[in-house]
């Protein structure tokens, strides 16, 4: 019964702020009535008024806090509809520009709505982490496993701002320790029988033989590579070219915030990128100044993009390998 109780789904509590620091416990549609449970947030704690849930009923719960819109800023900006899959990165880059907080100081979510056939209106919901922390801590103190914060909007769906796991990690560590102890006891008991010990010995010998075979095969491959100049050159070239994740990171550092990619092709030691930018003419110089790119040039003429003031660009550049960079 104990194991079953631990595996039951977590209950979900949704609290909607109606007046300053007054919350109603609601159903999934956020509608409230005077008969519903009310909580007041006082001195960093949620206090039930008129009965309400006992503290134990918050344990292992996922608490959703729908905070009043006056606690958030809601700046808007336009983004190309083609860039919808990059919106998380675009929003992150806009926090410093559109809010008084840095990325590290803010919690932010967003919602989108089509504005034209080519552009999307992105609405941020941003607040400082310091302003939200007391409410998250208040839910944690009552035993909640996780807290999800939403920003309410008049006549529109709330925007999910952040989600934090507050108690689950410590509980999970305790569960893992108990499981490890139980498994260790079971293994020790099983190893006490001679039949299982014999089986274990056979399995160990088989595994050791397989390991020895693989080590011998690796040594043979290494010797073949050393004796075959072409294979050795191929392996050296493979080690010299940076992996794709390094190239993607370098591109993210080189391209300005008003530019995004629509295509990326990596062929050997050459990369080709297509995209949209409001300053396409400066991109070649930016790539030349960023490792591991060199000999960057436009591979096709730039053309006007659908977004006003933007251009579609096509650039190719060589990827400097370790061999090319060495003197």
pLDDT digits 0-9 by tens, 24-83: 887 555 554 444 678 889 988 888 876 555 555 778 788 999 999 999 999 999 888 888
Q: Distance between CA 200 and CA 240 in Å, rounded?
A: 44
d(CA 52, CA 138): 16
Q: What is the pLDDT of residue 136?
A: 92
Using N-to-C axis directions, what is the helix angle for 194-227 and 229-240, rounded to 10°? 100
Q: Which residues contact 147 (CB under 8 A, 6 or more apart)?
A: 62, 63, 64, 65, 135, 136, 139, 140, 163, 164, 166
pLDDT the model gives residue 252: 85
Residue the block writes with tokens 């390094």: 246
Question: Of 102-106, 139-143, 216-220, which has the strongest mean pLDDT?
Answer: 102-106
Q: Bigger pLDDT: 65 or 117? A: 65
Comparing 310 with 36, which gets the higher pLDDT? 310
Distance of CA 285 to the CA centre of its chain: 31
pLDDT tens string 218-265: 777 766 655 666 666 666 656 656 677 788 888 888 888 888 888 888
Closest by CA to 290, choosing from 324, 248, 262, 326, is 248
- Phi then psi dihedrals of residue 288, to 5 deg: -60, -30
Query: How confident is the model over 196-225, as pLDDT tens digits?
Result: 677 777 888 888 888 888 888 877 776 665
- 232 membership: H or E segment, kind and range: helix 229-240
Q: Which of the four pLDDT bands, split at 50, 70 and 90, describes residue 173?
A: low
What global pTM score does this model have? 0.49
Least confident of 62-71, 169-178, 297-306: 169-178
Average pLDDT over residues 312-321: 87
**Pairing outcome for strands 119-128 and 45-49:** unpaired
pLDDT at 268 over 60: yes
């Amino acid at each position: 019964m104990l194991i079953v109780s631990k595996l039951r789904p977590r209950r979900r509590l949704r609290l909607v702020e109606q007046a300053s620091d007054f919350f109603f416990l609601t159903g999934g549609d956020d509608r409230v009535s005077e008969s519903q449970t009310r909580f007041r947030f006082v001195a960093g704690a949620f206090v039930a008024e008129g009965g309400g849930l006992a503290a134990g009923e918050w344990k292992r719960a996922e608490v959703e806090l729908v905070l009043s819109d006056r606690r958030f800023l809601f700046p808007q900006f336009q983004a190309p509809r083609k860039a919808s899959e990059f919106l998380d990165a675009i929003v992150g880059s806009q926090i410093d520009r559109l809010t008084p907080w840095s990325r590290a100081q803010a919690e932010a979510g967003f919602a989108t709505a089509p504005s034209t056939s080519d552009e999307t209106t992105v609405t941020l919901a941003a607040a400082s982490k310091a302003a939200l922390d007391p409410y998250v801590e208040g839910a944690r103190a009552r035993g909640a496993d996780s807290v999800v914060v939403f920003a309410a909007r008049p006549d529109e769906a709330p925007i999910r701002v952040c989600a934090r796991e507050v108690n689950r990690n410590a509980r999970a560590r305790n569960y893992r320790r108990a499981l490890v102890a139980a498994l260790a006891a079971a293994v020790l008991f099983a190893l006490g029988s001679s039949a299982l010990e014999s089986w274990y010995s056979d399995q160990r010998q088989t595994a050791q033989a397989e390991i020895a075979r693989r080590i011998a095969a690796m040594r043979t491959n290494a010797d073949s590579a050393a004796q075959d100049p072409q294979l050795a050159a191929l392996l050296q070239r493979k080690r010299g070219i940076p992996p794709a994740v390094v190239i993607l990171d370098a591109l993210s550092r080189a391209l300005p915030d008003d530019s995004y990619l629509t295509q990326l092709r990596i062929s050997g030691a050459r990369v080709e990128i297509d995209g949209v930018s409001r300053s396409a003419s400066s991109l070649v110089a930016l790539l030349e100044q960023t490792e591991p790119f060199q000999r960057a040039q436009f591979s096709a003429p730039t053309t006007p993009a659908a977004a006003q003031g933007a251009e579609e660009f096509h650039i190719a550049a060589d990827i400097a390998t370790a061999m090319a960079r060495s003197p």
